[in-house]
């Protein structure tokens, strides 16, 4: 329902997050009758960004009619439990798979915050006395009740003057770009939010849907200043790294984002094993969240859900390279160390900011025989970024650990389109948007993509500032 409030006379878009940064995606669309939020992400990474999570939400949560989610990643969904606890009573529209993934990711996020707060209280380093979590696991569980499924490729009436449509974005399971239509007799408007845009070739997911047309475009730019290595190179680097590590009698450690990276890495290892390019090694998946996520992916494949490549439909064990071992408990995780060499360990988190991967890195980094393969974007300020930038020691679990293992970065595993892929995708638009806002990228990446859009497509493009507001009419 549309709440009684005096909105702006003409529709407006406000960039409440994800502006000149890759986290905290939050875009507010307001008309004279409605107020909806597209994505409700958590700020992550550098401390300055994280502190933003603690500021009061820029508009009263109770005044927002609905939240529309592009996908489940925490930087797009992770603020929801706080928004709902603080008064938001509308519906959270998301695709079926986004809802399922959020039911794993959000409670985990709440749990981690509670754990960190209680640790801070024990050690006594928090500025808050006592330290409090931003929200709890219970807040996150409660937030899940507000979800409403938005089917792919169907119009959904959000408020009397707003309609939305979710089209596959090929980024992670359930991910969508959202086309939001403002039904205005005088000046109807269509705004396309890309969310995070996937790549043309994903081993599991269908490529991003065609752009179609929009009056206003809000595009991501995570890799706006980079072109990924060729995918064949990625497979080659994976293959060579595994072979070289096995030859030295070492282990391969892969910090992977629980959602999607784990699945893609398993599929590729399976391919290498089946082609007898690498030996059939034990492959451990050691992350409770990755294991739960694996189940959601398996279910989607079994059921042939939208966005899954047709040739996988109905497959029963798409992720087992031959010797897959699921480390479910902490004891299972600890037991991995007793394994005879060699093996592959896939564990979260992908940027090595938390989770069981910390224990594996602390154990395996000091030995030159081991290799660590970084397979995703490493945000500024994270341990993962320090490793790919050649840190000779990193702090793990309170101690500095020497880095002697080989660190290999394979960015072709990225789930984000690079600048060329974004431009190719944009280039197929039926008509040029009147304005393109470049968001969800660190400043240099966003500015570079904006420049390329102007130069190569001759479309007007700008990189908005945080909290900037623009008219949509
Ligand atoms: Zn994402």
Tell me the domain boundaries of the chain. Answer: 12-226+415-471, 231-413
Q: How far is CA 324 from the centre of its chain?
A: 25
- Judged by DSSP in three states, 78 sits in coil
Ligand 1 centre from 70 Cα, in Å? 9
417 Cβ contact partners less than 8 Å away, ≥ 6 residues apart? 197, 198, 199, 200, 208, 223, 425
User: Which residues in the chain show pLDDT less than 50?
Assistant: 1-4
pLDDT for the residue 4? 45
Ligand 1 centre from 92 Cα, in Å? 17
Ligand 1 centre from 45 Cα, in Å? 15
- Nearest CA to 146 out of 83, 189, 238 is that of 83
- According to the CATH classification, is domain 12-226+415-471 in 3.60.15.10? yes
For the chain, give the number of residues: 473
Ligand 1 centre from 23 Cα, in Å? 9
- Judged by DSSP in three states, 291 sits in helix
Q: In terms of C-beta distances under 8 Å and separation of at least 24 residues, what long-range contacts does 181-186 make, across chains too?
A: 182/11, 182/29, 182/31, 182/472, 184/11, 184/31, 184/473
143 Cβ contact partners less than 8 Å away, ≥ 6 residues apart? 80, 81, 84, 85, 92, 106
Class of domain 231-413: alpha beta
Ligand 1 centre from 220 Cα, in Å? 10
- Nearest CA to 472 out of 103, 94, 210, 188 is that of 188
Ligand 1 centre from 71 Cα, in Å? 7
- Nearest CA to 295 out of 145, 173, 197, 414 is that of 173
Distance CA 351, CA 283 (A): 20
Contact 430, 212 (CB under 8 A): yes
Residue 293 main-chain phi, psi, to 5 deg = -65, -40
Ligand 1 centre from 196 Cα, in Å? 5
pLDDT for the residue 355? 85
Ligand 1 centre from 74 Cα, in Å? 8
In DSSP terms, 166 is beta-bridged to 152, 178
Ligand 1 centre from 121 Cα, in Å? 32
Radius of gyration of the chain (CA): 22
pLDDT for the residue 3? 45
The token pair that represents 386 in the structure block = 């320090």
- 419-427 and 443-452 are packed helices; what angle lies between their axes, rounded to 10 degrees? 40
Contact 163, 181 (CB under 8 A): yes
Ligand 1 centre from 222 Cα, in Å? 10
96, containing H or E segment = helix 96-123
Other residues' Cβ atoms within 10 Å of the Cβ of residue 157: 10
Distance CA 183, CA 29 (A): 13
Ligand 1 centre from 186 Cα, in Å? 35
Residue 383 main-chain phi, psi, to 5 deg = -65, -35
Ligand 1 centre from 151 Cα, in Å? 19
In DSSP terms, 399 is beta-bridged to 396
Ligand 1 centre from 95 Cα, in Å? 14
244 Cβ contact partners less than 8 Å away, ≥ 6 residues apart? 371, 406
How confident is the model over 177-190, as pLDDT tens digits? 999 999 998 899 99
- Degrees (nearest 5) of the Cα angle 312, 317, 323? 135
What CA–CA distances, in Å, run from 369 to 234, 286, 334, 451?
21, 21, 20, 44
Ligand 1 centre from 171 Cα, in Å? 7
**CATH topology match: 12-226+415-471 vs 231-413:** no
- Judged by DSSP in three states, 241 sits in helix
Distance CA 370, CA 16 (A): 42
Does the pTM surpass 0.95? The reply is no
Ligand 1 centre from 24 Cα, in Å? 11
Ligand 1 centre from 75 Cα, in Å? 7
Ligand 1 centre from 165 Cα, in Å? 18
Ligand 1 centre from 372 Cα, in Å? 23
pLDDT for the residue 327? 96
Ligand 1 centre from 367 Cα, in Å? 33
Distance CA 117, CA 130 (A): 8
Ligand 1 centre from 379 Cα, in Å? 13
Ligand 1 centre from 99 Cα, in Å? 14
Other residues' Cβ atoms within 10 Å of the Cβ of residue 432: 16
Ligand 1 centre from 72 Cα, in Å? 7
Find where tokens 């770009």 sit. 177
How confident is the model over 198-218, as pLDDT tens digits? 999 888 999 999 998 999 999
Ligand 1 centre from 66 Cα, in Å? 20
Ligand 1 centre from 279 Cα, in Å? 32
Ligand 1 centre from 73 Cα, in Å? 5
């Amino acid at each position: 329902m549309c709440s009684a409030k005096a909105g702006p006379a003409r529709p407006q878009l406000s960039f409440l997050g994800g502006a000149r940064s890759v986290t905290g995606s939050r875009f507010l669309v307001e008309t004279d009758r409605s107020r909806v939020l597209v994505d409700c992400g958590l700020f992550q990474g550098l401390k300055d960004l994280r502190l933003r999570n603690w500021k009061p939400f820029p508009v009263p949560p109770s005044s927002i009619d609905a939240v529309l989610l592009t996908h489940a990643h925490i930087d797009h969904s992770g603020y929801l439990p706080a928004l709902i606890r603080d008064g938001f009573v509308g519906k959270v529209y998301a695709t079926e798979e986004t809802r399922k993934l959020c039911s794993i990711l959000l409670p985990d996020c709440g749990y981690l915050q509670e754990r960190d707060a209680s640790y801070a209280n024990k050690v006594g380093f928090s500025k808050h006395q006592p330290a409090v979590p931003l929200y709890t696991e219970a807040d996150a569980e409660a937030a899940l009740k507000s979800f409403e499924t938005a089917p792919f490729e169907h119009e959904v009436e959000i408020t009397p003057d707003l309609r939305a449509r979710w089209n596959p974005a090929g980024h992670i399971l359930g991910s969508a770009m959202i086309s939001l239509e403002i039904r205005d007799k005088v000046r109807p408007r269509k705004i396309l939010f890309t969310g995070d845009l996937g790549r043309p070739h994903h081993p599991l997911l269908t490529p991003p849907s065609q752009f179609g047309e929009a009056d206003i475009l809000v595009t991501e730019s995570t890799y706006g200043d980079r072109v990924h290595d060729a995918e064949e190179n990625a497979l080659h680097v994976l293959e060579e790294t595994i072979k070289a590590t096995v030859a030295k009698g070492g282990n391969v450690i892969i910090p992977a984002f629980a959602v999607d990276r784990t699945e893609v890495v398993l599929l590729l290892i399976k391919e290498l094993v089946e082609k007898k390019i690498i030996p059939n090694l034990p492959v451990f998946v050691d992350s409770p969240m990755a294991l739960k996520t694996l189940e959601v992916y398996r279910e989607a494949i079994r059921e042939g859900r939208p966005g899954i490549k047709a040739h996988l439909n109905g497959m029963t064990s798409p992720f087992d390279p031959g010797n897959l071992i699921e480390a479910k408990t902490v004891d299972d995780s600890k037991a991995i160390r007793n394994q005879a060499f060699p093996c592959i360990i896939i564990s979260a988190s992908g940027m090595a900011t938390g989770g069981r991967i910390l224990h594996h890195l602390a154990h395996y980094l000091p030995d030159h025989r081991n290799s660590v393969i970084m397979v995703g974007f490493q945000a500024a300020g994270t341990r993962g970024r320090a490793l790919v930038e050649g840190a000779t020691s990193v702090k793990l679990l309170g101690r500095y650990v020497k880095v002697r293992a080989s660190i290999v970065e394979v960015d072709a595993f990225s789930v984000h389109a690079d600048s060329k892929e974004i431009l190719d995708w944009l280039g197929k638009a039926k008509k040029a948007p009147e304005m393109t806002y470049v968001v969800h990228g660190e400043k240099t990446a966003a500015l570079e993509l904006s420049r390329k859009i102007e130069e190569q497509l001759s479309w007007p493009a700008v990189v908005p500032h945080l909290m900037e507001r623009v008219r949509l009419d």
